[in-house]
A and B are shown apart, each in its own frame.
Chain A
Amino acid sequence: MARNKEKLVLLLDVGPSMHGVLPEVEKVCSMLVEKKLIFNKDDEVGVVVFGTEETNNELMDEVGGYENIVVLQDIKVVDGDLIDILKKLPRGTVDGDFLDAIVVGMDMLIKKYKGIYKGKKRLCLITNAIHPTKDSLEGSKEDQVGTLAVQMTAQGMKMESIVVRGILSQDANKRIMDENDRLLSIFSKKTRSRTVYVDSPISLLGALKTRRVTPVTVFRGHLELSQQMKIKVWVYKKTQEEKFPTLKKYSEKAPSTSKFATHQVMVDYEYKSVDDSSTVVPPEQRIKGYRYGPQVVPISDAERDAVKFKPEKGVKLLGFTDASNIIRHYYMKDVYLFIAEPGNTRAILAVSAIARAMKEMNKVAILRCVWRQGQQNVVVGVLTPNISQNNKIPDSFYFNVLPFIEDVREYQFPSFNSFPASWLPNEQQQMAADEFVQMLNLAPSGKEEALLPEFTPNPVLERFYHHLELKSKQPDAAVPPLDETLKRITEPDLELDFENKSVLDSLCKHFELKENSKKSARRLLPEKPSGSNGEDGNGNVSDARAVDSIGQEPVVKIEKIGDLTPVQDFEVMMTRRDNPEWVGKAIREMRDKILSLLTNSHGGDNYLVAVECIIALRKGCILEQVSPSPSLCFCCCFFLNLLCGFRCFCLMEPGPYNNLMRYLYRYCQEKEISTFPKLLASMDVTLISKSEAVDSSNFTDDEARRFLDKIKPEPKD
């Protein structure tokens, strides 16, 4: 493992012009360390900030200069403290000099590992590079950078520069920016460095690869054009989904104090006969059966091995064809990368020649691939050219899997032209749509393409690691809300919407949508197979988010009061303005929720939640008094009835409310529940008095208060 370790120095610009993006820098850097703590525990990381008031680095002590650079953390094995440091980066006061910082970072790596460590050494620079660098004492800046680049290569270091530009940096001196860009490009040309420019907080979070994956070849061998002509290639994965971490199961059986408890859970499988569930069938008596229609055909592994399809390992060319023959949506899988065998000049030339010819002629190649010996299937796929833009990097190919006949379902869909004319857009509508598509442009010329996959991080993973970090400090920490910056991945950009408000409005104006009133009686197909987790069911969607957004359009349309955050759900529903019915619905739902909390309570464990709900309900009712509704009567009566039973039925609408009230009152009495009313009293939950709700309450403050007094001395038991 040792050779796989990475030594990384983060060089972070904290100067005043960077302050706006430092929260994102903090997030992405701590995420980097959080992932290292899980996946690359032995990696070592150091942190250098520049643009600070103070100066603290060895080079200054030794040779002088290198001001305003602070080594926040010497290179050491990653640990939790490092995250704490990165989460609270100092805010600097001076414009930093990134070249000096690079020198300091290199110096740290050289001093620590000189000669003894041959593994991966990396510098990671995050800056906006808009401030001038100091002139060097000897030679031009270019020469100085050249020397640094040579040194970097000699030491086997890599550098990754993330330059924050565009809307994220203020108007800066163009000349200085250009000079800095030129200096950085020398690094890219002369060393194993890459420089990326980002201009939105999302891309800043996505620009730094936070997880280090050592690439593994899928295949090494010949790409056979024919029997006579073969090219040596290595095949890697170009894209592969980074999965949500698989969490182990935790056993709570062992006492949590026990030092040696692993808390691991073993999963045991027992194979039992369907008829007689007491006998366990031993492994050697089991045989695999494959379904063929209603029959299950038993085939032993040995039998299967003897007859199964056994292709020879190899990657063979079937032919070339026009790129237009392969439509993009036929791509079946994540993407592979074919590169010529590294260091094999002739193979690189051959790949380059074919790739460039394919590009010129707009052709693609069809390949048949068997990656490993003993693989049970073949893959037919399409090879497309990838012409390298960087002089250092050889040309290569991308490869994706194409479907077999069996994989394609040829459904027929009605042609749009066959639709009745009323379904087709008219001229104005089409124009509105055209304008909409044109204006809502995420890749306007001259600006960075928004939501570029390469720079868009996975918000779920970000949230998970954030939560993990929170939990490690406080085990019962709640799930944090989705990061504000990352929210823009999931929702339309408000700014862009605002700029094009007229276009959006015109689109809305031109198209009219109606709920289908006479929903056809046709049976709906089940949304999902039974037994899968209820994603689409209304049941839990409302728990999705605790949106605290009084006075603001709820982002997630909550349509039901869920179990996790009933109070928040209720509040969101109450603030919905798109339909007056929401208030009534919210109050009804809340009432039901309170009842179910009470009835499903064991030993009073739900009472607190119930009281919270009642308080929320009370607050909501007072807020809504401008539009008195039967629900308000209900609200008052609800409290009254807890105590007084049937006293004020006259106020209420008859029907379901009455029944509910009777039920609740009787319920408290019959079950001899006294704790709940007591709890209400202790939380100072009173009736809604006339002063709070002029139109709908008939109680004076005093009466309302007396309600509590009445409870206390004579609990119902």
Chain B
Amino acid sequence: MDLDPEDVFKDEEDDPDNEFFQQSESSKEYVVYLVDASPKMFNTTCPGKDQKDEIHFHVSISCIAESLKTQIICRSYDEVAICFFNTREKKNLQDLNGVFVFNVAEREQLDRPTARLIKEFDCIEESFMREIGSQYGIVPGSRENSLYNALWVAQALLRKGSIKTADKRILLFTNEDDPFGSLQGAAKADMTRTTLQRAKDIQDLGISIELLPLIRLDEEFNVSVLYSDLIGLDSEDLAQFIPSAGQKLEDMKDQLRKRMFTKRIIRRITFHIVKGLSIQLNTYALIRPTVPGAITWLDSVTNRPLKIERSLICEDTGSLIQEPPKRFQPYRNENVKFSMDEISEIKRISTGHLRLLGFKPLCCLKDYHNLRPSTFVYPSDQEVVGSSCIFIALHRSMLRLKRFAVAFYGGSSRPQLVALVARDEITTAGGQMEPPGMHMIYLPYSDDIRDAEEIFPDTEDDAPRADKDQIQKAAALIKRIEMKDFSVFQFANPALQRHYAVLQALALEEDDIPETIDETVPDEEGLARPAVVKAIEEFKLSVYGDNYDEENDHLGKEKVGGASRKRKEIAENAAKDYDWADLADNGQLKDLTVAALKTYLNAHDLPVTGKKEALISRILTHMGK
């Protein structure tokens, strides 16, 4: 994770797909979380994990907290505001009743999420009743309309910035499908009308309103009462908008979480199917490794950021090179020079599009035909009408005939062959598990595939193969150690979790760093169950025989003993050639060669990396001088 200065300026090798994670300021998002805090949100529960009931308010809060934590890591340019309505207290710029904008110190109301915001929001539930309070804002006989107020406040918060540079969204969490249900007659009609008008005005400003309904087991959330008009759903969207009632809380949480993020397109590409038939596709990065963000160098005295200036210096003359230098490759005893233009010309073997070459049966896609995370493609009719139709037809044919498409993906970074594998949509009660579309899998070239398994064949005999009994024992073992419902989303990256826990603690100047749990360690307890142990022992006996342990240890020792012990011995002997303490005292260490210094380090199991000064200082530290 260290910064390799070369990396910062890495030119043509960059993977354009990584853009997704190096989010730039130009694609930021402004989000207002609008949470209903009416007593109904507190009274309604749904059964959660371990049969414990969870109240709807808590569900909303924890969803937002989760999304804030994701945002601060991957999309820290996004700006958020959190706003409750149907509250007892009020706090907003317009001084409207029943609306409370939650915020922390050193932060504007709509601003990038900070460590403090996340921290304080995490414990908001404890203080909520005391400081903010819950109260129905729309009651008969009063002219107050808390929903209207809330929308107004949200709109005011989103006044910042232009919609040209940012996506603006309001996410509304509520479990009340009929907020004006308690009213009658003209008052109800009037309030409904003004609220809808307000919502429409907001949408006309380019702000989208999204509804995240919380549903009870026994009751349906009827979108068509008010909200379908409020957020502008048409009848087609309506049908799939509300998942079936009676779902579990976990599913609902899942769905809320998924819907809180907008899709981001990496790029639009043209897919040439045959001559004269090219369709438009959007590509998405559904899976990419998340890494701790880039390092910013700081001045340790002032804590101000540093800027890195790179200069190119000619090694022969020592003069500064201004213009971008040519490149060279030593070849046949001379330097063959290339200009950058020539290099990009060499790499340009096809235009940056996807060209269909043909189809193959799915079994032709081997496990080792993989180089990088796949990219998801989904059709778009935005520029070429009819793209979706062809795409769906091909998608269905490929699924039915069990074929994948082979295509050539041009582009400057690495033009290469790709496999397009069609996947059907998989939905569960919790929403979409797998989106419908095709996954673009990057195929290796022959130059990229190695045959390491072929380097050690037994020349005389055939390689040993397990017999029937051994395979049976292995099968029994596999049955015992089976993870029935394994899914790839089940582990959090422990290194990343740790990293951000440390960052959060330091950012808030807390002394102790919270423990993080490594979910990836094996289930020792499960493995120690007698049935499992028995299966393992039986398998062990069948493949290793009785005297395995001795042999194994013997082999092991031989290995360590052989080369490395010998090396160590030599090192130790060599180290004895010098009187280290004396050399150190007289400052004569610097007169030794690096190799000689390393003998000392080797003999004492110290790292041998670094420059000579580093080695010397390491030796001195080790001697305690």
A and B, one complex?
A: yes
B328 is contacted by which of A248, A342, A356, A393 (Cβ under 8 Å)?
A: A248
Q: Which residues of B contact A535 (CB under 8 A)?
A: 16, 352, 411-413
Q: Are A453 and B445 in contact (CB under 8 A)?
A: yes
Q: Closest CB of chain B to A478's CB: distance in Å?
A: 8
Tell me which residues from 322 to 371 in chain A have a Cβ below 8 Å from any Cβ of chain B. 325-335, 337, 339, 342-346, 348-350, 352-354, 356-358, 360-361, 363, 366, 368
Q: Which residues of B contact A490 (CB under 8 A)?
A: 349-350, 355, 408, 410, 415
A406 within 8 A of B: yes
With A288-B296, A294-B76, A317-B481 known, 8 other A-B pairs at CB within 8 A are A274-B305, A286-B299, A293-B72, A366-B483, A398-B367, A405-B492, A412-B258, A511-B393
A388 within 8 A of B: yes
* Number of residues from B at the complex interface, CB < 8 A: 245
Q: Are B351 and A541 in contact (CB under 8 A)?
A: yes
Tell me which residues from 457 to 514 in chain A have a Cβ below 8 Å from any Cβ of chain B. 457-461, 463-464, 467-468, 471-472, 475, 479, 482, 489-493, 496-497, 504, 507-508, 511-514
A285 within 8 A of B: yes
Q: Are A292 and B500 in contact (CB under 8 A)?
A: yes
Tell me which residues from 276 to 300 in chain B have a Cβ below 8 Å from any Cβ of chain A. 276-279, 284-290, 292-300
Q: Are A287 and B113 in contact (CB under 8 A)?
A: no
Given A269-B310, A332-B373, A292 contacting B115 (CB threshold 8 A): yes
Stretch at the interface among A11-19, A172-180, A424-432, A642-650: A424-432
Chain B: which residue is nearest A262 at the CB level?
Answer: B315
B453 within 8 A of A: yes
Encode A225-269 as 1/0 by CB contact (under 8 A) with B.
Answer: 111111010001111111111011111111000101111111111
Q: Which residues of A contact B445 (CB under 8 A)?
A: 206, 242, 453, 456-458
B567 within 8 A of A: no
A250 is contacted by which of B257, B328, B384 (Cβ under 8 Å)?
A: B328
Listed A/B pairs (16) with beta-carbon separation below 8 Å: A229-B539, A270-B309, A272-B309, A349-B466, A352-B470, A384-B367, A413-B432, A423-B389, A436-B397, A454-B449, A460-B349, A472-B336, A490-B349, A508-B276, A513-B279, A536-B352
Q: Are B393 and A251 in contact (CB under 8 A)?
A: no
Tell me which residues from 506 to 525 in chain A have a Cβ below 8 Å from any Cβ of chain B. 507-508, 511-516, 519-520, 522-525
Q: Are B492 and A346 in contact (CB under 8 A)?
A: no
A619 within 8 A of B: no
Q: Closest CB of chain B to A381's CB: distance in Å?
A: 10
Q: SS class of chain B's interface: helix, strand, loop or mixed?
A: mixed
Given A266-B315, A353-B543, A392-B458, A467 contacting B342 (CB threshold 8 A): yes
B544 is contacted by which of A346, A380, A398 (Cβ under 8 Å)?
A: A346
Q: Are B446 and A38 in contact (CB under 8 A)?
A: no
Q: Are B494 and A309 in contact (CB under 8 A)?
A: yes
Stretch at the interface among A210-218, A622-630, A653-661: A210-218
Stretch at the interface among B39-47, B188-196, B260-268: B260-268
Q: Which residues of B contact A409 (CB under 8 A)?
A: 261, 284-288
Chain B: which residue is nearest A471 at the CB level?
Answer: B336
Q: Are A419 and B310 in contact (CB under 8 A)?
A: no
B581 within 8 A of A: no
Q: Which residues of B contact A402 (CB under 8 A)?
A: 488
B474 within 8 A of A: yes
Q: Are A289 and B296 in contact (CB under 8 A)?
A: yes
Complex: how many Å from CA A614 to CA B569?
A: 79
B349 is contacted by which of A384, A471, A482 (Cβ under 8 Å)?
A: A482
Stretch at the interface among B121-129, B530-538, B588-596: B530-538
Tell me which residues from 409 to 450 in chain B have a Cβ below 8 Å from any Cβ of chain A. 410-417, 421, 423, 425, 427, 431-432, 434-437, 439, 441, 443-450
Q: Are B287 and A472 in contact (CB under 8 A)?
A: no
Given A268-B310, A460-B415, A514 contacting B478 (CB threshold 8 A): no
Tell me which residues from 371 to 417 in chain B have a Cβ below 8 Å from any Cβ of chain A. 371-374, 376, 378, 381-390, 392-398, 400-401, 403, 405-406, 408, 410-417
B384 is contacted by which of A300, A423, A516, A528 (Cβ under 8 Å)?
A: A516
Encode B24-64 as 1/0 by CB contact (under 8 A) with A.
Answer: 10110000000000000000000000000000000000000
Encode B467-490 as 1/0 by CB contact (under 8 A) with A.
Answer: 000111111011101111011111
Complex: how many Å from CA A401 to CA B417?
A: 21
A405 is contacted by which of B396, B421, B489 (Cβ under 8 Å)?
A: B489
Complex: how many Å from CA A520 to CA B380?
A: 12
Q: Closest CB of chain A to B398's CB: distance in Å?
A: 6
Stretch at the interface among A55-63, A86-94, A443-451: A443-451
Q: Are B540 and A228 in contact (CB under 8 A)?
A: yes
Q: Closest CB of chain B to A547's CB: distance in Å?
A: 12
A411 is contacted by which of B261, B299, B466, B488 (Cβ under 8 Å)?
A: B261
Q: Closest CB of chain A to B82's CB: distance in Å?
A: 15
Given A287-B298, A335-B370, A318 contacting B321 (CB threshold 8 A): no
Q: Closest CB of chain A to B522's CB: distance in Å?
A: 5
Q: Are A265 and B331 in contact (CB under 8 A)?
A: no
Complex: how many Å from CA A437 to CA B348?
A: 29
Given A242-B448, A378-B495, A515-B383, A277 contacting B307 (CB threshold 8 A): yes
Q: Are A440 and B359 in contact (CB under 8 A)?
A: yes
Q: Are A544 and B296 in contact (CB under 8 A)?
A: no
Q: Are B406 and A251 in contact (CB under 8 A)?
A: no
Q: Are B403 and A408 in contact (CB under 8 A)?
A: no
B185 within 8 A of A: no
B112 within 8 A of A: yes
Chain A: which residue is nearest B405 at the CB level?
Answer: A437
Q: Which residues of B contact A463 (CB under 8 A)?
A: 346, 349
Q: Are B300 and A287 in contact (CB under 8 A)?
A: yes
B303 within 8 A of A: yes
Q: Are A398 and B368 in contact (CB under 8 A)?
A: yes
Q: Which residues of A contact B259 (CB under 8 A)?
A: 412
Q: Are A294 and B393 in contact (CB under 8 A)?
A: no
Which among B417, B450, B488 has the highest number of chain A CB atoms within 10 Å?
B488
A556 within 8 A of B: yes
Q: Are A251 and B396 in contact (CB under 8 A)?
A: no
Q: Closest CB of chain A to B45's CB: distance in Å?
A: 26
Q: Are B446 and A209 in contact (CB under 8 A)?
A: yes
Tell me which residues from 325 to 368 in chain B have a Cβ below 8 Å from any Cβ of chain A. 325-332, 334-338, 341-352, 355-361, 364-368
Tell me which residues from 497 to 514 in chain B have a Cβ below 8 Å from any Cβ of chain A. 497-500, 502-504, 506-507, 513
B493 within 8 A of A: yes
Stretch at the interface among B5-13, B91-99, B139-147: B5-13
